[in-house]
Chains A and B, each alone.
Chain A
């Protein structure tokens, strides 16, 4: 009898469940995170869902960054788009130009009356996703910036003071010589070569990567990264590559495996590499600011971000947007942001979250985790260091990768390679301009 009662109860609740769910507004959120990051996103969503009973956010993983963007585009064309889509920073221009497909975050927040203060967000982070007239278009979600990772043990083994000053490339050059002489197989490697050694290099030295304020002022922008500052840097890296002081491992973050295994002394990589390096490294490591060329441009200006932001898509009910606004406000709230920043190594998106983290003593316990924050926020961003807004940029990065590979093998000199990358990239920019006229 008891069993029967339980059975009936289960049956009733299963039947009723869908009706109860439909009382809540469902919000689709498509993202690109797996592994530990995926778990952290799921935890955020769960916390939000538990905190109120009007809305249910449903998070779905849609592949890597490119695949998630494509899934969003394909879904929009089929009229099945999610309310919230995660788009990586290089897709920003594509999303911005899609008037009628996306709704600016500032507009969503204003319409809903949810708590929103655009000034609470850190300028260098927010700037990347803000229109030229100051409207915040998407919500920065995960942002990082490149830093220099140092294997202290390898430096010490080569007879170099592990605390030696590595703030400029001039100093790094001398250290690379010493490392090579001491027989270190991999003095330096890098991840994301275009992002770190051209995009960030340009911003850090306050020289343009592209005309029209790096594309912020219009789609009729042209690439300009074949200037003297960039050519000098790539040429130096080319020489290091020829002399075996810079080991090229691949276009993405393949070099990370070499560094974490303790083979490479120096490694330029995103600040978000923190979790992985801390977990795997069997050696003493340091986080240092990204080096700059002393005396070139206005260095050190500030570096720019990489990562992704959340875009709100058009074509949903007004009630859905209320829920979206609630969720975005929840993500921006200080405790949620501070926890995200500390768990992942991504930059905090609000100054309040950075302050809360500092007050909690996190930076003292985890030395180096604030390097990225300082590097991003010391100087007010200029037109050259606010970010990049270029169409077809994922593909332009592919072209840059190809041309840089020609420099590393010695097939081309830096000037010829960068000239060619600029010329080929400009053709894609013109097509993008035409498509979005």
Chain B
């Protein structure tokens, strides 16, 4: 039986949700509406004139093989970022959870990278892997491996994925760690008495109990990979070599702010909005069914 708490009257509940509604309206609905409106025009950069083109911007984009290819690049990139940021985070959280001494220090150190802004993280990683002065690329060179992400697309993709995922590991760690602490000890002890070893207990008890957290992080990390990794890509590869790391959101930026093509840029934002919306609905419809709360 579900428990419901109801308000008497309308005024108080309205007041309570008003700030959220106002913020969403100003910072989400208004700009999103403007993007949809702008996507129907080809304006000049200074806003002096506008040409109505209907769905012309969308037609232009979807008939461009490079734009279509950037969907695949985005899919690969966000899958990799999500995996690389979640799996190590879970591992570290499990290990930290078992620590008895020095757990505080360990946790603090693990959380630090989250404080680094994506663009700065990009510069740091670029510095380590710089083809000329990078420490890592120098060691790789000594081992006989010639690192060159400036021309090698796989290496470029690898570098932007790691640089984007690095800071997120901290964020994910925090959530996993909190969730692990919330797993009732009695259940685990009962399983241990029944003779289940660590990995067995992990797979059959801990992981299912972590599923709400994992699902939440999955959604949040995909959204992160789609939108917030812009700084990393901009500082490390600018979308290159060729178009190997041009993800959708980077193309929105380069068309809008390098090309001053606001019509195409707005149309891309709308497409991106639809894609992420669809993805989130999909996740809630199909993956959430496997989640136990």
- Structural contact, A392 and B260, CB atoms closer than 8 A: yes
- Structural contact, A395 and B259, CB atoms closer than 8 A: yes
Enumerate chain A residues within 8 angstroms of B240, measured Cβ to Cβ: 251, 401-402, 405
- Structural contact, A409 and B44, CB atoms closer than 8 A: no
Enumerate chain B residues within 8 angstroms of A409, measured Cβ to Cβ: 151-152, 241
A412 CB → nearest B CB, Å: 9
Enumerate chain A residues within 8 angstroms of B211, measured Cβ to Cβ: none
- Structural contact, A434 and B42, CB atoms closer than 8 A: yes
- Supposing A249-B131, A257-B132 touch, asked if A431 and B264 sit within 8 A by C-beta, the answer is yes
Number of interface residues of A (CB under 8 A): 41
* Stretch of A94-102, A167-175, A380-388 at the chain-chain interface: A94-102
* Stretch of B10-18, B167-175, B250-258 at the chain-chain interface: B250-258
Enumerate chain A residues within 8 angstroms of B257, measured Cβ to Cβ: 66, 70
Within 8 A of B (CB), among A417-431: 424, 427-428, 431
Contact with A along B177-216 (1 / 0, CB 8 A): 0000000000000000000000000000000000000000
Contact with B along A237-262 (1 / 0, CB 8 A): 00000000000111100100110010
Q: Is A411 an interface residue (CB 8 A)?
A: yes
- Structural contact, B255 and A395, CB atoms closer than 8 A: yes
B149 CB → nearest A CB, Å: 10
Q: Is A294 an interface residue (CB 8 A)?
A: no
- Supposing A392-B259, A398-B254, A405-B151 touch, asked if A431 and B42 sit within 8 A by C-beta, the answer is yes
Contact with B along A334-360 (1 / 0, CB 8 A): 000000000000000000000000000
- Structural contact, A77 and B259, CB atoms closer than 8 A: no
Q: Is A406 an interface residue (CB 8 A)?
A: yes
Enumerate chain A residues within 8 angstroms of B255, measured Cβ to Cβ: 395
Enumerate chain B residues within 8 angstroms of A101, measured Cβ to Cβ: 46, 48
B150: nearest chain-A partner, CB-CB: A250
Q: Is B133 an interface residue (CB 8 A)?
A: yes
Number of interface residues of B (CB under 8 A): 34
Q: Is B142 an interface residue (CB 8 A)?
A: no
Which of A99, A250, A257, A401 is most buried by chain B, counting CB atoms within 10 A of its CB? A250
- Structural contact, A98 and B44, CB atoms closer than 8 A: yes
Enumerate chain B residues within 8 angstroms of A405, measured Cβ to Cβ: 151, 240-242
- Structural contact, A66 and B258, CB atoms closer than 8 A: yes
Q: Which of B47, B151, B241 contacts A77, CB < 8 Å? A: B47
| Bound-state Cα–Cα, A97 to B132, Å | 42
Q: Which of A257, A401, A436 contacts B133, CB < 8 Å? A: A257
Q: Is B29 an interface residue (CB 8 A)?
A: no
Q: Is A160 an interface residue (CB 8 A)?
A: no
A100: nearest chain-B partner, CB-CB: B48
B264 CB → nearest A CB, Å: 7
Q: Is B51 an interface residue (CB 8 A)?
A: yes
Enumerate chain B residues within 8 angstroms of A50, measured Cβ to Cβ: none
- Structural contact, B254 and A435, CB atoms closer than 8 A: no
| Bound-state Cα–Cα, A436 to B43, Å | 8
| Bound-state Cα–Cα, A258 to B255, Å | 31
| Bound-state Cα–Cα, A151 to B254, Å | 36
- Structural contact, B42 and A408, CB atoms closer than 8 A: no
Enumerate chain A residues within 8 angstroms of B243, measured Cβ to Cβ: 402
| Bound-state Cα–Cα, A409 to B242, Å | 10
Enumerate chain A residues within 8 angstroms of B51, measured Cβ to Cβ: 434-435, 437
Contact with A along B110-142 (1 / 0, CB 8 A): 000000000000000000000111000000000
- Structural contact, B46 and A428, CB atoms closer than 8 A: no
Enumerate chain B residues within 8 angstroms of A73, measured Cβ to Cβ: 45-46, 260
B131: nearest chain-A partner, CB-CB: A249
Q: Is B261 an interface residue (CB 8 A)?
A: yes
| Bound-state Cα–Cα, A424 to B241, Å | 17
- Structural contact, B261 and A392, CB atoms closer than 8 A: yes
Q: Is B66 an interface residue (CB 8 A)?
A: yes
Enumerate chain A residues within 8 angstroms of B131, measured Cβ to Cβ: 249
A421 CB → nearest B CB, Å: 11
Enumerate chain B residues within 8 angstroms of A98, measured Cβ to Cβ: 44-46, 48
| Bound-state Cα–Cα, A36 to B240, Å | 30
- Structural contact, A435 and B46, CB atoms closer than 8 A: no
Q: Is B73 an interface residue (CB 8 A)?
A: no
| Bound-state Cα–Cα, A257 to B46, Å | 37
- Structural contact, A395 and B263, CB atoms closer than 8 A: no
Q: Which of A248, A258, A403, A408 contacts B132, CB < 8 Å? A: A258
Q: Is A394 an interface residue (CB 8 A)?
A: yes
B286 CB → nearest A CB, Å: 37
Q: Is A116 an interface residue (CB 8 A)?
A: no
Enumerate chain B residues within 8 angstroms of A66, measured Cβ to Cβ: 257-258
| Bound-state Cα–Cα, A402 to B51, Å | 30
Q: Is A76 an interface residue (CB 8 A)?
A: yes
- Supposing A249-B150, A250-B150, A257-B133 touch, asked if A394 and B258 sit within 8 A by C-beta, the answer is yes
B113 CB → nearest A CB, Å: 26
| Bound-state Cα–Cα, A394 to B258, Å | 6
Enumerate chain B residues within 8 angstroms of A431, measured Cβ to Cβ: 42, 60, 261, 263-264
Enumerate chain A residues within 8 angstroms of B239, measured Cβ to Cβ: 398
Which of B51, B131, B133, B151 is most buried by chain A, counting CB atoms within 10 A of its CB? B151
Enumerate chain A residues within 8 angstroms of B53, measured Cβ to Cβ: 434
| Bound-state Cα–Cα, A395 to B264, Å | 13
B255: nearest chain-A partner, CB-CB: A395
| Bound-state Cα–Cα, A427 to B242, Å | 18
Enumerate chain A residues within 8 angstroms of B280, measured Cβ to Cβ: none
- Supposing A76-B46, A251-B240 touch, asked if A428 and B261 sit within 8 A by C-beta, the answer is yes
Enumerate chain B residues within 8 angstroms of A424, measured Cβ to Cβ: 66
| Bound-state Cα–Cα, A261 to B258, Å | 31
Q: Which of B44, B133, B150 contacts A435, CB < 8 Å? A: B44
B53: nearest chain-A partner, CB-CB: A434
B151: nearest chain-A partner, CB-CB: A409
Enumerate chain A residues within 8 angstroms of B79, measured Cβ to Cβ: none
Listed from nearest, the 6 A-B pairs whose CB atoms lie closest are A395-B259, A101-B46, A405-B241, A98-B46, A77-B47, A402-B242
Chain A residues within 8 Å of B, Cβ to Cβ:
66, 70, 73, 76-77, 94, 97-101, 248-251, 254, 257-258, 261, 263, 392, 394-395, 398, 401-403, 405-406, 408-409, 411, 424, 427-428, 431-432, 434-437
* 10 pairs of residues in contact across A and B, judged by CB atoms under 8 Å: A66-B257, A76-B46, A97-B44, A258-B132, A394-B258, A395-B258, A401-B240, A428-B259, A431-B42, A434-B42
Further pairs besides A94-B45, A405-B151, A405-B241: 7, Cβ < 8 Å:
A398-B258, A402-B242, A408-B151, A431-B42, A431-B263, A435-B263, A437-B51
